[in-house]
Amino acid sequence: MKHHRRRRTRFIIPVVSMGDIAFLLIIFFMMCSHFAKERKITPAESDYIDELKRPRPPTIVVVEADGTIYFQGAPTSGADEVESLVSQIIADDAPPDRRRVQLSVDASVGPEVYKPLLEALGRAGATIEFVGQPRGAGGGGP
């Protein structure tokens, strides 16, 4: 018994007309884009805008592996001194970018060293950006 296979009907896709359509679409969009005229507006120069573009660098506090605390590169006596220094920089009505304090702590330092520092910065009203350092990386002082 023979199976008769049904012959498949082939669909012919007119590829040549697709090229014509693409060409006509390109011409159409080129013609439409020509009608949009450029406006000749010159922006006003202002020194104030330049101030807004430059973000203020954060205040930096570093705790090294030996427990030494540096404020902006200068060694300090401890968390209380850092709190008073940060309080002098941050006023009660200071904008958020002035409140940024970047706290960088060496990975080998335990929480008994940096926890009082975190509390002191919180009392001073700082927004703390906590950054870790690899063991022994340092980077605070000279």
Q: pLDDT tens-digit profile of 87-110?
A: 888 876 677 677 888 888 888 888
Query: What pTM value is reported for the model?
Result: 0.54
Query: Has residue 13 been placed in a domain?
Result: no
Domain count, the chain: 1
Q: Report the SS3 class of residue 49.
A: helix
Q: Is 76 inside any structural domain?
A: yes
- What is the domain extent for residue 126? 49-133
Any domain includes 82? yes
Task: Say whether pLDDT at 132 is over 50.
Answer: yes
State the pLDDT at residue 98. Answer: 75
